[in-house]
Amino acid sequence: MTERLDQASLLEAIERAGRIIEQADSALAAARGGAARGQTQLEAVSDAARGFSGRGREVRASLQLVYEALERAKLSSLNAGLEAGRLSEPAGKIVMQLAGDLRALIAGGLEALEAHATLLSDSDRERERWLDGVVTTRETLAGIIADLGVLSRHRQEMLGALSSLEHAVAPLLGADPQTARRLAELSEQAKALAATVGALTKQGVDERVRQALAPLLDALGPRSGSDS
Amino acid sequence: MSERAGLLVRAGGELGFVPATTARSIVPLPPMSPVGNTPLLMTLVSGRVVPVVALGSPTSVLVVCELDEEQIGFSGLEVNAVGSFEATERGVLVEGRAVPELDLLGALRSMEPALEPQLGEAP
Protein backbone atom coordinates (compact mmCIF):
# COMPACT_ATOMS: atom_id res chain seq x y z
CA MET A 1 0.00 0.00 0.00
CA THR A 2 2.80 2.41 1.02
CA GLU A 3 4.69 1.63 -2.18
CA ARG A 4 1.64 2.43 -4.30
CA LEU A 5 1.11 5.66 -2.44
CA ASP A 6 4.74 6.68 -3.06
CA GLN A 7 4.39 5.87 -6.75
CA ALA A 8 1.20 7.93 -6.87
CA SER A 9 3.04 10.77 -5.16
CA LEU A 10 5.76 10.48 -7.78
CA LEU A 11 3.17 10.81 -10.53
CA GLU A 12 1.64 13.79 -8.76
CA ALA A 13 5.10 15.36 -8.41
CA ILE A 14 5.68 14.86 -12.14
CA GLU A 15 2.36 16.54 -12.90
CA ARG A 16 3.17 19.38 -10.52
CA ALA A 17 6.54 19.83 -12.23
CA GLY A 18 4.65 19.94 -15.53
CA ARG A 19 2.38 22.69 -14.19
CA ILE A 20 5.37 24.68 -12.92
CA ILE A 21 6.97 24.37 -16.34
CA GLU A 22 3.74 25.64 -17.90
CA GLN A 23 3.81 28.63 -15.53
CA ALA A 24 7.46 29.19 -16.41
CA ASP A 25 6.39 29.03 -20.04
CA SER A 26 3.93 31.90 -19.49
CA ALA A 27 6.64 33.90 -17.75
CA LEU A 28 9.00 33.08 -20.62
CA ALA A 29 6.48 34.28 -23.20
CA ALA A 30 5.91 37.47 -21.21
CA ALA A 31 9.69 38.03 -20.99
CA ARG A 32 10.11 37.50 -24.74
CA GLY A 33 7.23 39.90 -25.45
CA GLY A 34 8.71 42.49 -23.08
CA ALA A 35 12.15 42.15 -24.65
CA ALA A 36 10.69 42.52 -28.15
CA ARG A 37 8.76 45.62 -27.09
CA GLY A 38 11.95 46.97 -25.50
CA GLN A 39 13.77 46.45 -28.79
CA THR A 40 11.06 48.34 -30.70
CA GLN A 41 11.19 51.20 -28.19
CA LEU A 42 14.99 51.34 -28.46
CA GLU A 43 14.68 51.54 -32.26
CA ALA A 44 12.30 54.48 -31.82
CA VAL A 45 14.74 56.17 -29.40
CA SER A 46 17.57 55.57 -31.85
CA ASP A 47 15.56 57.09 -34.73
CA ALA A 48 14.66 60.09 -32.56
CA ALA A 49 18.33 60.60 -31.68
CA ARG A 50 19.26 60.50 -35.39
CA GLY A 51 16.53 63.10 -36.07
CA PHE A 52 17.94 65.20 -33.25
CA SER A 53 21.34 64.99 -34.95
CA GLY A 54 19.82 66.54 -38.10
CA ARG A 55 18.29 69.34 -36.01
CA GLY A 56 21.74 69.95 -34.51
CA ARG A 57 23.17 70.47 -38.01
CA GLU A 58 20.38 72.95 -38.81
CA VAL A 59 21.03 74.87 -35.59
CA ARG A 60 24.76 74.92 -36.38
CA ALA A 61 24.06 76.25 -39.90
CA SER A 62 21.86 79.05 -38.53
CA LEU A 63 24.50 79.86 -35.90
CA GLN A 64 27.04 80.18 -38.72
CA LEU A 65 24.74 82.67 -40.52
CA VAL A 66 24.41 84.74 -37.33
CA TYR A 67 28.18 84.56 -36.82
CA GLU A 68 28.85 85.82 -40.36
CA ALA A 69 26.31 88.63 -39.94
CA LEU A 70 27.95 89.71 -36.66
CA GLU A 71 31.42 89.60 -38.27
CA ARG A 72 30.15 91.87 -41.07
CA ALA A 73 28.58 94.19 -38.50
CA LYS A 74 31.91 94.27 -36.66
CA LEU A 75 33.70 95.30 -39.85
CA SER A 76 31.06 97.99 -40.46
CA SER A 77 31.57 99.38 -36.97
CA LEU A 78 35.37 99.39 -37.53
CA ASN A 79 34.86 101.27 -40.82
CA ALA A 80 32.51 103.71 -39.03
CA GLY A 81 35.26 104.25 -36.48
CA LEU A 82 37.76 104.92 -39.29
CA GLU A 83 35.42 107.44 -40.91
CA ALA A 84 34.92 109.08 -37.53
CA GLY A 85 38.69 109.31 -37.18
CA ARG A 86 38.81 111.35 -40.38
CA LEU A 87 36.00 113.66 -39.25
CA SER A 88 36.81 116.82 -37.35
CA GLU A 89 35.88 117.41 -33.67
CA PRO A 90 33.32 117.11 -32.10
CA ALA A 91 31.31 115.06 -34.61
CA GLY A 92 34.21 112.65 -35.07
CA LYS A 93 34.40 111.94 -31.34
CA ILE A 94 30.65 111.22 -31.12
CA VAL A 95 30.62 108.86 -34.11
CA MET A 96 33.79 107.16 -32.79
CA GLN A 97 32.06 106.65 -29.43
CA LEU A 98 28.94 105.22 -31.12
CA ALA A 99 31.04 102.89 -33.27
CA GLY A 100 32.92 101.75 -30.15
CA ASP A 101 29.66 101.02 -28.28
CA LEU A 102 28.38 99.09 -31.28
CA ARG A 103 31.60 97.03 -31.44
CA ALA A 104 31.30 96.20 -27.74
CA LEU A 105 27.74 94.95 -28.28
CA ILE A 106 28.81 92.92 -31.31
CA ALA A 107 31.74 91.45 -29.36
CA GLY A 108 29.26 90.37 -26.65
CA GLY A 109 27.05 88.77 -29.29
CA LEU A 110 30.03 86.93 -30.79
CA GLU A 111 31.08 85.65 -27.37
CA ALA A 112 27.54 84.40 -26.68
CA LEU A 113 27.53 82.74 -30.08
CA GLU A 114 30.81 80.96 -29.35
CA ALA A 115 29.36 79.79 -26.02
CA HIS A 116 26.33 78.45 -27.91
CA ALA A 117 28.58 76.64 -30.39
CA THR A 118 30.55 75.07 -27.50
CA LEU A 119 27.34 73.96 -25.78
CA LEU A 120 26.11 72.52 -29.08
CA SER A 121 29.35 70.56 -29.50
CA ASP A 122 29.03 69.29 -25.92
CA SER A 123 25.45 68.17 -26.54
CA ASP A 124 26.60 66.50 -29.80
CA ARG A 125 29.21 64.51 -27.89
CA GLU A 126 26.63 63.69 -25.20
CA ARG A 127 24.19 62.48 -27.87
CA GLU A 128 26.88 60.29 -29.45
CA ARG A 129 27.59 58.67 -26.08
CA TRP A 130 23.85 58.24 -25.59
CA LEU A 131 23.52 56.60 -29.02
CA ASP A 132 26.43 54.27 -28.22
CA GLY A 133 24.59 53.30 -25.04
CA VAL A 134 21.39 52.62 -27.02
CA VAL A 135 23.32 50.40 -29.46
CA THR A 136 24.93 48.46 -26.59
CA THR A 137 21.54 48.04 -24.88
CA ARG A 138 20.01 46.83 -28.15
CA GLU A 139 22.76 44.24 -28.51
CA THR A 140 22.28 43.13 -24.90
CA LEU A 141 18.53 42.86 -25.46
CA ALA A 142 19.10 40.80 -28.63
CA GLY A 143 21.32 38.49 -26.54
CA ILE A 144 18.57 38.16 -23.92
CA ILE A 145 16.01 37.29 -26.61
CA ALA A 146 18.37 34.64 -28.00
CA ASP A 147 18.87 33.23 -24.47
CA LEU A 148 15.10 33.16 -23.98
CA GLY A 149 14.84 31.16 -27.21
CA VAL A 150 17.33 28.62 -25.86
CA LEU A 151 15.37 28.51 -22.60
CA SER A 152 12.18 27.85 -24.56
CA ARG A 153 13.83 24.89 -26.33
CA HIS A 154 15.01 23.53 -22.97
CA ARG A 155 11.46 23.88 -21.64
CA GLN A 156 10.15 21.81 -24.55
CA GLU A 157 12.77 19.14 -23.89
CA MET A 158 11.91 19.15 -20.19
CA LEU A 159 8.18 18.75 -20.93
CA GLY A 160 9.03 15.84 -23.23
CA ALA A 161 11.17 14.24 -20.52
CA LEU A 162 8.41 14.63 -17.93
CA SER A 163 5.87 13.11 -20.29
CA SER A 164 8.17 10.11 -20.85
CA LEU A 165 8.65 9.79 -17.10
CA GLU A 166 4.88 9.94 -16.56
CA HIS A 167 4.38 7.17 -19.10
CA ALA A 168 7.11 5.11 -17.48
CA VAL A 169 5.64 5.50 -14.01
CA ALA A 170 1.97 4.94 -14.90
CA PRO A 171 2.26 1.12 -15.48
CA LEU A 172 3.90 0.73 -12.09
CA LEU A 173 0.73 2.05 -10.45
CA GLY A 174 -1.45 -0.54 -12.09
CA ALA A 175 -4.21 2.01 -12.41
CA ASP A 176 -5.28 4.61 -14.90
CA PRO A 177 -3.73 8.11 -14.50
CA GLN A 178 -7.00 9.58 -13.17
CA THR A 179 -7.15 7.06 -10.32
CA ALA A 180 -3.46 7.55 -9.61
CA ARG A 181 -4.00 11.28 -9.44
CA ARG A 182 -6.84 10.83 -6.96
CA LEU A 183 -4.72 8.43 -4.96
CA ALA A 184 -1.90 10.95 -4.86
CA GLU A 185 -4.25 13.69 -3.65
CA LEU A 186 -5.59 11.36 -0.99
CA SER A 187 -2.05 10.51 0.04
CA GLU A 188 -1.17 14.20 0.44
CA GLN A 189 -4.26 14.83 2.53
CA ALA A 190 -3.60 11.77 4.69
CA LYS A 191 -0.02 12.87 5.23
CA ALA A 192 -1.24 16.27 6.34
CA LEU A 193 -3.68 14.58 8.72
CA ALA A 194 -0.92 12.40 10.08
CA ALA A 195 1.29 15.41 10.66
CA THR A 196 -1.54 17.13 12.52
CA VAL A 197 -2.14 14.05 14.67
CA GLY A 198 1.56 13.86 15.44
CA ALA A 199 1.57 17.48 16.52
CA LEU A 200 -1.53 17.00 18.65
CA THR A 201 -0.03 13.95 20.34
CA LYS A 202 3.02 15.97 21.27
CA GLN A 203 0.74 18.56 22.80
CA GLY A 204 -0.77 15.83 25.06
CA VAL A 205 -3.84 14.74 23.14
CA ASP A 206 -5.10 11.36 24.24
CA GLU A 207 -2.94 8.47 23.00
CA ARG A 208 -6.14 6.66 22.07
CA VAL A 209 -6.61 9.03 19.12
CA ARG A 210 -3.20 8.04 17.85
CA GLN A 211 -3.89 4.36 18.33
CA ALA A 212 -7.15 4.73 16.41
CA LEU A 213 -5.28 6.24 13.52
CA ALA A 214 -2.30 3.87 13.75
CA PRO A 215 -3.31 1.65 10.78
CA LEU A 216 -3.56 4.71 8.53
CA LEU A 217 -0.27 6.09 9.79
CA ASP A 218 1.40 2.74 9.17
CA ALA A 219 0.00 2.67 5.66
CA LEU A 220 1.44 6.10 4.97
CA GLY A 221 4.92 5.02 5.90
CA PRO A 222 7.40 5.10 8.76
CA ARG A 223 7.82 8.92 8.84
CA SER A 224 4.13 9.74 8.92
CA GLY A 225 2.64 11.13 12.10
CA SER A 226 5.85 12.90 12.93
CA ASP A 227 6.29 16.60 12.45
CA SER A 228 10.05 16.28 12.37
CA MET B 1 48.25 116.22 -25.64
CA SER B 2 47.54 115.56 -29.34
CA GLU B 3 45.67 112.53 -30.54
CA ARG B 4 45.83 110.43 -33.68
CA ALA B 5 42.91 108.41 -34.99
CA GLY B 6 43.48 105.10 -36.68
CA LEU B 7 43.67 101.33 -36.50
CA LEU B 8 45.58 99.12 -34.12
CA VAL B 9 46.61 96.06 -36.08
CA ARG B 10 48.63 92.96 -35.36
CA ALA B 11 51.10 91.90 -38.05
CA GLY B 12 53.16 88.77 -37.45
CA GLY B 13 52.56 89.00 -33.69
CA GLU B 14 53.60 92.67 -33.46
CA LEU B 15 51.17 95.48 -32.71
CA GLY B 16 51.22 98.41 -35.17
CA PHE B 17 49.32 101.60 -35.85
CA VAL B 18 47.76 102.62 -39.19
CA PRO B 19 46.51 106.24 -39.25
CA ALA B 20 42.91 106.91 -40.29
CA THR B 21 44.27 109.21 -42.98
CA THR B 22 45.96 106.18 -44.59
CA ALA B 23 43.48 103.39 -43.88
CA ARG B 24 40.40 103.77 -46.07
CA SER B 25 38.37 100.70 -45.22
CA ILE B 26 38.42 97.17 -43.86
CA VAL B 27 36.76 94.54 -46.04
CA PRO B 28 36.27 90.77 -45.73
CA LEU B 29 39.22 89.06 -47.40
CA PRO B 30 38.22 88.69 -51.07
CA PRO B 31 39.55 86.04 -53.49
CA MET B 32 42.99 87.10 -54.74
CA SER B 33 45.02 86.33 -57.85
CA PRO B 34 48.83 86.27 -58.05
CA VAL B 35 50.54 88.69 -60.44
CA GLY B 36 52.95 86.62 -62.52
CA ASN B 37 56.65 86.72 -61.49
CA THR B 38 55.99 89.28 -58.74
CA PRO B 39 55.28 89.01 -55.03
CA LEU B 40 52.12 91.06 -55.58
CA LEU B 41 48.52 89.87 -55.61
CA MET B 42 45.47 91.45 -57.15
CA THR B 43 41.86 91.60 -56.09
CA LEU B 44 38.59 93.42 -56.67
CA VAL B 45 37.29 95.82 -53.99
CA SER B 46 33.99 97.57 -54.73
CA GLY B 47 34.46 96.87 -58.44
CA ARG B 48 38.00 98.30 -58.59
CA VAL B 49 41.18 96.31 -59.19
CA VAL B 50 43.46 96.75 -56.18
CA PRO B 51 47.03 95.45 -55.78
CA VAL B 52 47.58 93.55 -52.54
CA VAL B 53 50.74 93.32 -50.44
CA ALA B 54 50.90 90.34 -48.08
CA LEU B 55 52.38 91.33 -44.70
CA GLY B 56 51.84 87.92 -43.09
CA SER B 57 49.69 84.82 -43.13
CA PRO B 58 46.22 85.64 -44.47
CA THR B 59 43.57 86.69 -41.94
CA SER B 60 39.84 87.16 -42.50
CA VAL B 61 40.20 90.81 -43.59
CA LEU B 62 41.93 93.07 -46.08
CA VAL B 63 42.91 96.59 -44.98
CA VAL B 64 42.57 98.95 -47.93
CA CYS B 65 44.88 101.99 -47.66
CA GLU B 66 45.60 105.03 -49.77
CA LEU B 67 49.30 105.58 -50.47
CA ASP B 68 50.50 108.17 -52.96
CA GLU B 69 46.89 108.59 -54.05
CA GLU B 70 46.71 104.90 -54.98
CA GLN B 71 44.57 102.29 -53.28
CA ILE B 72 46.63 99.37 -51.99
CA GLY B 73 45.30 96.39 -50.06
CA PHE B 74 47.29 94.89 -47.17
CA SER B 75 46.58 91.31 -46.14
CA GLY B 76 47.92 89.40 -43.12
CA LEU B 77 46.73 92.10 -40.70
CA GLU B 78 44.48 91.40 -37.75
CA VAL B 79 42.50 94.48 -36.74
CA ASN B 80 42.43 94.81 -32.95
CA ALA B 81 40.84 98.24 -32.45
CA VAL B 82 39.95 101.57 -33.99
CA GLY B 83 39.99 104.85 -32.13
CA SER B 84 41.88 107.97 -31.16
CA PHE B 85 45.11 107.43 -29.29
CA GLU B 86 47.73 109.64 -27.69
CA ALA B 87 50.23 110.63 -30.37
CA THR B 88 53.95 109.94 -30.00
CA GLU B 89 56.84 110.79 -32.30
CA ARG B 90 56.76 107.41 -34.08
CA GLY B 91 53.20 106.27 -33.52
CA VAL B 92 50.73 106.21 -30.63
CA LEU B 93 50.56 105.31 -26.96
CA VAL B 94 48.06 102.57 -26.07
CA GLU B 95 47.55 101.84 -22.34
CA GLY B 96 51.00 103.22 -21.62
CA ARG B 97 52.64 101.16 -24.32
CA ALA B 98 54.27 102.69 -27.39
CA VAL B 99 52.84 101.30 -30.63
CA PRO B 100 54.82 102.24 -33.74
CA GLU B 101 53.17 103.33 -36.96
CA LEU B 102 53.43 100.64 -39.63
CA ASP B 103 55.70 101.64 -42.48
CA LEU B 104 53.30 100.62 -45.24
CA LEU B 105 54.92 102.87 -47.82
CA GLY B 106 58.27 101.27 -47.00
CA ALA B 107 56.75 97.81 -47.42
CA LEU B 108 55.40 98.82 -50.82
CA ARG B 109 58.71 100.40 -51.92
CA SER B 110 60.62 97.27 -50.90
CA MET B 111 58.71 95.44 -53.60
CA GLU B 112 59.53 97.84 -56.39
CA PRO B 113 62.76 96.08 -57.49
CA ALA B 114 60.80 92.89 -57.96
CA LEU B 115 58.28 94.77 -60.12
CA GLU B 116 60.88 96.28 -62.50
CA PRO B 117 60.99 94.61 -65.93
CA GLN B 118 63.98 92.33 -66.38
CA LEU B 119 66.07 91.88 -69.50
CA GLY B 120 64.40 89.70 -72.08
CA GLU B 121 60.95 90.20 -70.60
CA ALA B 122 58.11 92.28 -71.93
CA PRO B 123 57.56 95.49 -69.91
Residue B119 domain flag: no
Chain A residues whose CB is inside 8 A of the B84 CB are: 85, 93, 96
Residue B83 domain flag: yes
pLDDT at A42: 86
> In chain B, how long is the greatest CA-to-CA distance?
56
Residue B118 domain flag: no
- Taking the C-alpha atoms of residue A81 and residue A74, their distance in angstroms, rounded to an integer, is 11
3-state secondary structure of A154: helix
Q: Flag whether residue A109 sits within 8 Å of chain B, measured between CB atoms.
A: no
pLDDT in tens, A108-163: 999 999 999 999 999 889 888 888 888 888 888 888 888 888 888 888 888 888 88
**In total, how many domains does chain B have?**
1
pLDDT in tens, A42-54: 888 888 887 887 8
- Taking the C-alpha atoms of residue B82 and residue A96, their distance in angstroms, rounded to an integer, is 8
Q: Flag whether residue A71 sits within 8 Å of chain B, measured between CB atoms.
A: yes
Confidence band of A5 (pLDDT split at 50, 70, 90): low
pLDDT at A222: 58
Give me the domain span that covers residue B85.
3-111
pLDDT at A220: 64
CA A222 to chain centre: 49
List residues of B whose CB lies inside 8 A of any A CB. 5-7, 20-21, 23-28, 60-61, 79, 82-84
* Res. A4: pLDDT tops 70: no
Among A75, A93, A100, beta carbon nearest to B61: A75
Residue A7: CB atoms within 10 Å:
20
Among A71, A78, A93, beta carbon nearest to B82: A78
As a dihedral over the C-alpha atoms of residue B2, residue B3, residue B9, residue B10, rounded to 10 degrees, the angle is: 40
Residue B121 domain flag: no
pLDDT at A227: 47
Q: Is the interface score ipTM higher than 0.90?
A: no
Mutate to test the interface with A, among B82, B84, B92, B101 (most CBs of A within 10 A): B82
- pLDDT < 50 regions, chain B: none
Per the omega criterion (within 30 degrees of 0), is the bond before A90 cis? Answer: yes
Q: Which domains are present in chain A?
A: 32-161 (1.10.287.950)
